[in-house]
């Protein structure tokens, strides 16, 4: 039975997020009008891209290389040229088929090619389904830093087929679970309360997690206030990624970052110590690290202090008063943060 899509109200127009097992075989019926052009990566083309192109009566299938290191302006430029060669015009519909790297890069292409063309997201990682495909942020990295160039580009629709997760590498699944658990901590959503239980209904879990992100971005589409709550655990996580020279996967860093944020909340007496314990147990059950290992506490702190969101050197953390009660704390003393970092070695 077809489940109701989730309707999103966005500044650039409303759109639907369809979540349905087997949806990839029914894409044709859901696309906006126009000539579809699929852009994916070299890993996903043989897995899903070619079948999708055939189902769309021979739609063009463009490919970018796989990996965050290709989320660049060079890739964007190559895709513009591939689009010209495929005779894409303002009536084309660009379909991003892939994880967050493909979604962010191709979304930026769709926002700018001929001043913007129709855009459809078909996210294929758990992270892309519950996080990056929702909210309209697209863009690429520069050598100087991640996500430094970008735009807001709302999709015409988002099509989520949980069955494609069967082929997702387990480490990528765990990374998506870190963001899904973050959505639970932000919202106390009932649909996410048992997310690490064996045999959990994947489609239902994704639907609940998408709803949390939709609720946040609808209230704050341009990240002026509460959208900042989505950074729970991420101040720590970005520092871990940076200090480890990106040896840590983002989701793994978020796992440990959620533990740190909960511990800091408890240490500053914003929440009960039991919450920090609960977060740590859940992160461990998901299979993500709960410690920073040999990463030096001073270096982690220094990396956090360069965060562009620490305006004027004032520290800024998203903390919890309880599950579903996030808030932004300013001017947390360095000593409090250092004792969390040192306690998590
Ligand atoms: N725009 C936003 O709001 C937002 C939010 C969060 C993250 N992001 C961005 O998302 C990116 C990370 O995305 P990600 O975690 O999806 O990583 P990813 O796109 O690199 O995908 C991870 C790996 O899984 C492979 N893969 C994807 N789907 C698969 C499938 N179904 N079967 C087998 N293999 C599959 C990919 O080819 C890749 O090798 C980062 O660049 C991050 O900055 C953006
Ligand atoms: Zn994240």
Name the DSSP class of 230. G
Distance from Cα 176 to the centre of ligand 1, integer Å: 9
Which residues have any ligand 1 atom within 6 Å of their CB? 41, 43-44, 47, 66, 68, 71, 98-102, 104, 124-125, 127-128, 131-132, 135, 137, 146-147, 164-165, 167-168, 172, 175
> In this structure, what token pair is assigned to residue 108?
């930026």
Distance from Cα 87 to the centre of ligand 2, integer Å: 35
pLDDT at 2 > cutoff 70 = no
The residue whose C-alpha atom lies closest to atom 36 belonging to ligand 1 is: 99
Neighbours of 136 (CB within 10 A): 21
pLDDT at 1 > cutoff 60 = no
pLDDT 10s digits, 82-126: 999 999 999 999 999 999 999 999 999 999 999 999 999 999 999
Contact between residue 168 and residue 143 where contact means Cβ atoms under 8 Å apart = no
pLDDT 10s digits, 328-340: 999 999 999 999 9
Domains of the chain, residue spans: 6-168, 222-343
Split at pLDDT 50, 70, 90, the class of 144 is confident
- Same topology, domains 6-168 and 222-343? Answer is no
**What class has domain 6-168?**
alpha beta
pLDDT at 181 > cutoff 70 = yes
d(CA 53, CA 60): 7
Q: For the residues 266-277, what does the mean pLDDT come to? A: 98
Contact between residue 210 and residue 129 where contact means Cβ atoms under 8 Å apart = yes
Contact between residue 238 and residue 252 where contact means Cβ atoms under 8 Å apart = no
Task: Give domain 222-343's CATH architecture.
Answer: Up-down Bundle (1.20)
Closest-CA residue to 334 (of 318, 314, 307): 314
pLDDT 10s digits, 299-330: 999 999 987 778 777 899 999 999 999 999 99
What value does the mean pLDDT of the chain take?
A: 95
Split at pLDDT 50, 70, 90, the class of 18 is very high
The secondary element (H helix, E strand) that includes residue 307 is none
Distance from Cα 68 to the centre of ligand 1, integer Å: 8
- Partners of 39 in beta bridges: 62, 96
Which active-site residues does the annotation give?
Answer: 115, 137, 179, 213, 223, 227, 231, 234, 238, 250
- Partners of 210 in beta bridges: none
Instruction: Say what the pLDDT of residue 285 is.
Output: 96
**CA distances in angstroms from 164 to 30, 69, 219, listed in the order given:** 18, 23, 30
Q: For the residues 127-145, what does the mean pLDDT come to? A: 95
Q: Which ligand is nearest to the CA of 235?
A: 2
């Amino acid at each position: 039975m077809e489940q109701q899509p989730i309707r999103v109200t966005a500044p650039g127009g409303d759109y639907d997020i369809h979540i349905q097992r087997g949806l990839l075989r029914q894409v044709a019926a859901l696309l906006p009008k126009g000539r579809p052009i699929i852009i994916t990566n070299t890993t996903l083309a043989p897995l899903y891209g070619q079948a999708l192109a055939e189902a769309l009566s021979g739609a063009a299938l463009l490919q970018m290389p796989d990996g965050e290191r290709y989320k660049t302006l060079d890739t964007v430029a190559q895709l513009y040229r591939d689009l010209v060669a495929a005779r894409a015009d303002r009536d084309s519909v660009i379909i991003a088929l892939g994880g967050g790297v493909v979604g962010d890069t191709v979304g930026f292409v769709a926002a700018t090619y001929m001043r913007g063309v129709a855009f459809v997201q078909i996210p294929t990682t758990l992270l892309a389904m519950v996080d990056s495909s929702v909210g309209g942020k697209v863009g690429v990295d520069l050598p100087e830093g991640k996500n430094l160039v970008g735009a807001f580009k709302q999709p015409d629709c988002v099509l989520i087929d949980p069955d494609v997760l069967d082929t997702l590498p387990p480490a990528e699944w765990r990374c998506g679970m870190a963001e899904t658990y973050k959505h639970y901590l932000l919202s106390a959503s009932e649909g996410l309360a048992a997310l690490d239980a064996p045999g959990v209904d994947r489609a239902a879990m994704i639907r609940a997690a998408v709803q949390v992100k939709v609720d946040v971005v609808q209230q704050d589409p341009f990240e002026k206030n509460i959208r900042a709550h989505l950074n729970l655990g991420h101040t720590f996580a970005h520092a871990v990624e940076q200090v480890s020279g990106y040896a840590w996967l983002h989701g793994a860093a978020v796992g440990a970052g959620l533990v740190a944020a909960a511990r800091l909340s408890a240490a500053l007496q914003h929440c009960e110590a039991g919450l920090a314990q609960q977060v740590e147990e859940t992160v461990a059950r998901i299979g993500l690290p709960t410690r920073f290992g040999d990463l030096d506490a001073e270096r982690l702190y220094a990396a956090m202090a360069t965060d562009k969101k620490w305006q004027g050197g004032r520290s800024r953390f998203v903390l919890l008063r309880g599950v579903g009660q996030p808030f932004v704390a300013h001017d947390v003393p360095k000593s409090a943060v250092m004792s969390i970092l040192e306690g998590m070695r």
